[in-house]
A = this chain, B = another copy of it.
Amino acid sequence: MGRPTIADIAERVGVSKGAVSFALNGRPGVSEATRARILQAAKEMNWRPHSAARALGGSRAEAVGLVIARPASTLGVEPFFAQLLSGLQARLSAQSVAMHLLVVEDVEAEIEVYREWASAHRVDGFIMVDPQVRDPRIDALQELEVPAVVLGGPGRHGSLSSVWADDREAMLSVVDYLAALGHRRVAHVAGLPRFRHTQRRMRALRDSVRRLGLVEAVSVPTDFSDAEGAAATRALLSRGRRPTAIVYDSDVMALAGLGVAGEMGVRVPDELSIVAFDDSVLTRVTHPAITSLSRDTFALGGQVAEVLLELIADPGRPRDLKTATPRLVVRESTAPPSRDA
């Protein structure tokens, strides 16, 4: 005989399937004596629930879905994702909730996966990352009426829940710091312009120009790769009048930029200050170590998981959790601009 079913237990104990189901789920409807006999038999027979059968009946799948529309190869490079995954796992596994993970080509494929997993009740909810301008995933998830948490904000995610950090505030703190050091020509090697958080950072920089009396404040969009980060840096440093400080939208790009500065004989921080959004071990082990906006990504993952689990347990009003604004950790890559720059 294969794996035992509740029918097998029912037969052995001499009761009906229904009684076994009630007993195993701790629900009223059976006497304590019968319940004990059923539980005993289930234990002896090594019975385990069949989640597919349960899902068919409409109960919890005990899993959440994370679908990512990025090249799989970048996942291993960006410390951010690994940290986020760890944090999610730490919280989810505490309740034995698994994670259904899939990497897809683009946002349309991502939506299709949402539809499939939701209609098959494969997961109880979704985590959506990298919210974009006019993101079609928002509407899709709302239509599906499935619990979902968007990582990013504020706002613009309809009735979905969200967990977010204040990117604008973070960028302002960087620019304020650089201006206070005396920098007037600040460049920004940004990420993908279709991402909302990229837009927010670009706007924050632009908005600072007048307030801080900056002479120049240009944002160069990239695809987040170290290659484009290096290329953008090379272009910026080849200009007639160089920026005296560059802000990078990721630690990986900042690292690439630091390498380019070295190649071109531009001394950091004497001739060029470098700041990275997103902190990780990468920024700490370089020479000079890179001044970074630091946040606890592991904790962020935990918060996202927490909100999603709450939402699944009680799908009332949507949640909106603002997490701590990344704070600037000053290391060795920033200094006042040199006199002749």
Contact = CB atoms under 8 A, between A and B. Distances in A.
Contact of A73 (B86, B120, B281): B86
A199 to B, nearest CB: 27
A13 interface: no
B79 A76 contact: yes
A111 to B, nearest CB: 12
Given A56-B53, A119-B3, A93 B104 contact: yes
A101 B89 contact: yes
Contact of A77 (B53, B122, B281): B281
Contacts of A285: 255, 282, 285-286
A76 B83 contact: yes
A contact face: mostly helix, strand, loop, or mixed: helix
Nearest to A302: B72
Interface residues of A, number: 51
A244 interface: no
A75 B102 contact: no
Nearest to A67: B98
Q: Taking each of A76, A85, A255, which has the highest tally of chain B beta carbons within 10 Å of its own beta carbon? A: A76
Contacts of A85: 75-76, 82, 85
A73 to B, nearest CB: 6
Contacts of A122: 51-52
Interface string A90-107: 101100101111111000
Contact of A99 (B73, B79, B81, B102): B102
A206 interface: no
A223 interface: no
A70 B324 CA distance: 28
A239 interface: no
A49 B119 CA distance: 8
A18 to B, nearest CB: 19
A306 interface: no
Contacts of A298: 73, 76
What 7 A-B pairs have minimum CB-CB distances, sorted nearest first? A52-B55, A76-B83, A72-B90, A76-B86, A82-B82, A51-B120, A75-B86
Interface of A: 3, 48-53, 55-56, 63, 72-77, 79, 81-87, 89-90, 92-93, 96, 98-104, 115-116, 119-122, 252, 255, 281-282, 285-287, 297-298
Given A101-B101, A255-B285, 5 more contacts: A49-B120, A52-B122, A73-B86, A75-B89, A77-B281
